[in-house]
Chains A and B, each alone.
Chain A
Amino acid sequence: MQWELVVGLEVHAQLLTDTKIFCGCSTSFGAPPNTHVCPVCLGLPGALPVLNRKVVDYAIKVGLATNCTVARMSRFARKNYFYPDLPKGYQISQFELPILEHGYLGVNDDSGSPKDIGITRIHMEEDAGKLVHPDIPGADYSHVDLNRACVPLLEIVSEPDIRSTGEALQYVKKLREILVYLGVCDGNMNEGSMRIDANISVRPMGQEEFGTRAEIKNVNSFKSLEQAIIYEQSRQIDLIEDGGKVVQETRLFDADRGITVGMRSKEEAHDYRYFPDPDLLPLVIEEEWIDAARDTLPELPDAKRSRFRSQYSLPDHDADLLCQSIDMADFFEEIVTLHNDPKAASNWIMGYVLRDMSRDELNSVKEAPITPTHIAGMLDLIKEGVISSKIAKDVFDEMWATGKEAKVIVEEKGLTQISDTSEIEGIVDDILAANPDEVASYRGGKTKLMGFFVGQVMKASRGKANPGLVNQLLKSKLEG
């Protein structure tokens, strides 16, 4: 039988506000345990939450960028459950009236046709704390770190519109890109800034009714998402084809083994007893607030890509890579402003900047030791014939290592290209004289040896000889 995969995703994104969602404590990562805390985020008796407006600002922006309707009135609700990392015994979230609903993101299905993945809702909530288990075998205690408690999150819930791993990956990548573009989330999946739960089911192709779904938790990278879907899809299909039934349950993705394991069944599922939080008033959002947020929206990834393709005549691949981050796109555009050769700028970024960023584990091109001015200066020198593209690669490495401008490096190291015919002619003559056998072979028809001669000349000139001139001279001496 042909089976169809059905996936809906819940993405938790940590917002980049300076302070927590319901108190003034810092959200910064990596502080000593329980130092970014106060009566509110500790959940002390008597303490009360006060909403951070910035969180609402960020939520509105995300809503506008994902085509959601911004609710004029939304409510916070308590999600009640016991866990040691949850200091109040409930999480403040939104339930019946979320701030955002009815959005979508465009992706391409596996045949390449565009389709929309619906976004059911996006709501604001507070994060829980973190349990720190001691690294002692048999320890009968754990520590609780509440620095993360009350850090703002958006939960972004998609419709079950996803039909393949490809669509799932595109959806999450697009979502991540938008969040990072908006500057509301760092998108850092391995630090937990974005966490994914996947609702996965299968159904016979053509059947309208959904199959029973499993909710997969702890999917925390693109690779995990792909693995989790593939594993879960085949687990469910095998189960059904063997005469079994998929049960509604929560499963945990085990990234080390690439499999999902049962966590709790529907019967054991929590009854969260949601109800409106009486400590927080209904959140009323006036049109002006939405307008103000709209005014600060940056150009979004899809729009930027399409502009890059048309304005700079870049291939899809280039536009895609350059627009993956707003910093990189800006970096590119600054180079082009200084040296108007978009394709050359793009090639250098894709070939070398991205390579070195990945080697040095940089998250943003803003952290790179070089600026658009460096690259543009180097491109100027190539265009003027001062250096060859080959030398330019060394210059690039030197720029990256020292932060010096291309021009300075070329001067200091004497890398200026030799374009003086008589100087090159001398070298050419020396090489031909030193390799009489090869000269004879060439003249006997082994013209492939041209590469060998060029190489020898370039080596002798330490790469500085103008390659065009070398070719021209060799040809005339060998064939003339």
Chain B
Amino acid sequence: MKSELILKKGHELRALLDSGEVSSVEVTQAFLDRIDAVDGKINAFLTVTADLALEQAAAADKRIKEGHASPLTGIPVGLKDLLVTKGVRTTCASKILENFIPPYDGTVVAKLREAGAVFTGKLNMDEFAMGSSNENSAFGAVKNPWDLDRVPGGSSGGSAASVAALEVPIALGSDTGGSIREPASFCGIVGVKPTYGRVSRYGLIAFASSLDQIGPMTRDVKDAALVLDGICGHDPKDSTSVLKESTDFAGALSSGIRGVRIGVPKEYFVEGLDPEIERAVKGAISKLEELGAEVKEVSLPHTEYAVAVYYLLATAEASSNLARFDSVRYTTRVDGSDLIDTYKKTRAAGFGEEVKRRIMLGTYALSAGYYDAYYRRAQRVRTLIARDFDEAFKEVDVICSPTVASVAFKHGDKTSDPLEMYLSDIFTIPLNLAGLPGLSMPCGFSSDGMPIGLQMMAGPFREEVLLKTAYAFEEATDFSRVPGL
């Protein structure tokens, strides 16, 4: 029984817990044991909070008995280590925050706590969410459970790997340019990036504030919908969160996709796309058509500029967001000859290569004399990219594409060439620039057995159509598998 528990998805555990067949303490212990057993290979967890988890599980059991469980009560959840957790070390996988214990909970964490979720620990990631392979963690790379030689994707690599490896049924990630969808694709799980403003960013340590969004990473669409229902909603503490009526994505999943209009963007099926991936994604689109959707080609003409725009805007925001890590607080100070020197030495020692590279890029883009050429122009092009989507979503409800042009690559393959690494996000970045919702879900496997991801995108606040389309596809296919670890 215990070893079977880790195979269960969140909603399946819900049923077991509510029927009294198992307790949350048993469930939690099963997942903690799994972490013990496999995390040495994967390195998905930066902090395991076993005691806290068991305490929360006991409280959840009491709550379930008393009959007021909510969908996530008693279910283990892993948190990407950029979500601040009161009293639990939050590192952003950076040396500069190695010993940071936040005095407060972010809004999403507070909501989950309120809902009775069980926090088993904090998940590895690319340092400050900067990366596409999880090789940029100051605390070691994360391994892909499907093939330990390969990367799990990034930056929410720990979240994706932990879910794929059955260490947690549910994890939260964050997506700035694909950081939920790309690792979800590489690890064969479901990852949803909500509409910008749908989920509060309060307590999400910012990489690029105008792009970041927290989202669920789960083993199926139903869990993703349940978690999203649990974390979204207006937050008076986040000025960019949007006032919307409460949602019931989970309840609307099975309404079918007859008449849903699917767009296929021609700019996403170009040279460089792995033919196996093209085949899998096209197959998925045919499947959707079979299920009653209407398929048509659309165009997103400014796609080719997205990566350039992103690496100007995201780095510009990051250069400012990361200024607070200045040696005055949070970290071991490296004393220099004067104040400025102390800043330099501390930051040089505390930040990793990629973070430093992006801080420099962003600083440059905002500098006097360059602002107009870089930052301002990038903002204008961002508007054009958003307009592409506006136009396309007049014609269709959901746009389908590959999530990434390749399956998970090998560790070290792209570390020497940052640009090549940046291009892994070419299909995911435009959506963040437009602030729209999207997801990645498994739609096939490569000949060498690696999962292939299907990306679905929708118009603003149209998570419902997105999730029900994904659900229909998932129900009709069988790509949600478990790696043999």
A: which residues have CB within 8 A of B? 39, 43-51, 78, 80, 82, 84, 87-90, 144, 271, 273-275, 278-281
Contact = CB atoms under 8 A, between A and B. Distances in A.
A84 B103 contact: no
Contacts of B371: 273, 275
A45 B92 contact: yes
A309 to B, nearest CB: 48
B324 interface: yes
Interface string B94-132: 000100101110100000000000000000000000000
B237 A48 contact: yes
A89 B323 CA distance: 5
Contacts of A279: 206, 209, 239-240
Contacts, number: 98
A273 B368 CA distance: 7
A463 to B, nearest CB: 68
14 contacts: A43-B324, A45-B102, A46-B83, A47-B203, A80-B323, A82-B343, A88-B323, A89-B324, A89-B326, A90-B323, A273-B363, A275-B371, A275-B375, A278-B209
A80 B90 CA distance: 25
Contacts of A144: 328
Given A39-B103, A46-B84, A46-B203, A281 B240 contact: yes
B318 to A, nearest CB: 11
Given A45-B205, A48-B237, A273 B84 contact: no
Nearest to B330: A45
B186 interface: no
Given A280-B239, A281-B239, A46 B324 contact: no
Contacts of B303: none
Interface in B138-152: none
A51 B239 CA distance: 8
Contacts of A271: 367-368
Category for how many chain B residues contact A:
35 or more
A88 B325 CA distance: 8
A48 B323 contact: no
B100 A50 contact: no
B204 interface: yes
Nearest to A271: B368
A82 B325 CA distance: 10
Given A39-B104, A48-B238, A90 B201 contact: no
Interface on chain B toward A: helix, strand, loop, or mixed SS? loop
A44 B339 contact: no
B202 interface: yes
A278 B323 contact: no
Given A84-B339, A144-B328, A279-B240, A46 B320 contact: no
A44 B103 contact: yes
Contacts of A280: 239-240
A391 B104 CA distance: 67
A90 B320 contact: yes
B231 interface: no
A147 B122 CA distance: 32
Nearest to B204: A46
List the 4 shortest-distance A-B pairs measured between CB atoms, nearest first. Answer: A89-B323, A278-B210, A273-B366, A278-B209
Contacts of A44: 84, 102-104
A274 B366 CA distance: 7
Contacts of B206: 45-46, 279
Contact of A87 (B84, B319, B324): B324
B369 to A, nearest CB: 9
Interface in B8-35: none
Nearest to A80: B320
Contacts of B209: 278-279
A275 B315 CA distance: 12
Given A78-B320, A89-B320, A48 B201 contact: yes
Interface string B341-376: 001000000000000000000010011100100010
Nearest to A78: B320
B336 interface: no
A48 B84 contact: no
B283 interface: no
A82 B203 CA distance: 23
B466 to A, nearest CB: 24
Contacts of A51: 239
B363 to A, nearest CB: 7
B102 A46 contact: yes
A45 B100 contact: yes
A42 to B, nearest CB: 9
A49 B343 CA distance: 25
A479 B329 CA distance: 92
A45 B202 contact: no
A94 B192 CA distance: 35
B324 A278 contact: no
B61 interface: no
B39 interface: no
Given A84-B339, A281-B239, A45 B367 contact: no
Contacts of B205: 45-46
A473 B241 CA distance: 89
B316 interface: yes
B403 to A, nearest CB: 25
Interface string B190-208: 0000000000011111101
Nearest to B343: A82
B155 to A, nearest CB: 16
Nearest to A275: B366
A271 B368 CA distance: 6
B323 A50 contact: no
A284 B447 CA distance: 55
Contacts of B90: 45
Given A45-B97, A82-B340, 20 more contacts: A44-B84, A44-B104, A45-B90, A45-B92, A46-B205, A48-B201, A48-B202, A48-B237, A48-B240, A50-B236, A82-B323, A84-B328, A89-B326, A273-B371, A275-B320, A278-B210, A278-B240, A278-B317, A281-B239, A281-B240
Contacts of A88: 323-324
A144 B317 CA distance: 26
B292 to A, nearest CB: 39
Contacts of B368: 271, 273
Contacts of A274: 366
B239 A48 contact: yes
Interface in B184-231: 201-206, 208-210
A47 B323 contact: no
A271 B236 CA distance: 33
B324 A45 contact: yes
Nearest to A43: B324
A25 to B, nearest CB: 14
A112 to B, nearest CB: 43
A51 to B, nearest CB: 7
Most B CB atoms within 10 A — which of A45, A50, A82, A281?
Answer: A45
Nearest to B84: A46
Interface in B287-327: 316-317, 319-320, 322-326
Contacts of B236: 50
A80 B261 CA distance: 46
A86 B320 CA distance: 12
A264 B482 CA distance: 63
Nearest to A84: B328
A425 to B, nearest CB: 83
Nearest to A277: B209
B46 to A, nearest CB: 15
Residue from B100, B210, B323, B363 having most chain A Cβ neighbours under 10 A: B323
Contacts of B203: 46-47
Contacts of B102: 39, 44-46
A354 B61 CA distance: 72
Interface string B31-62: 00000000000000000000000000000000
Nearest to B340: A82
A363 to B, nearest CB: 36
Contacts of B320: 78, 80, 89-90, 273, 275
B201 A273 contact: no
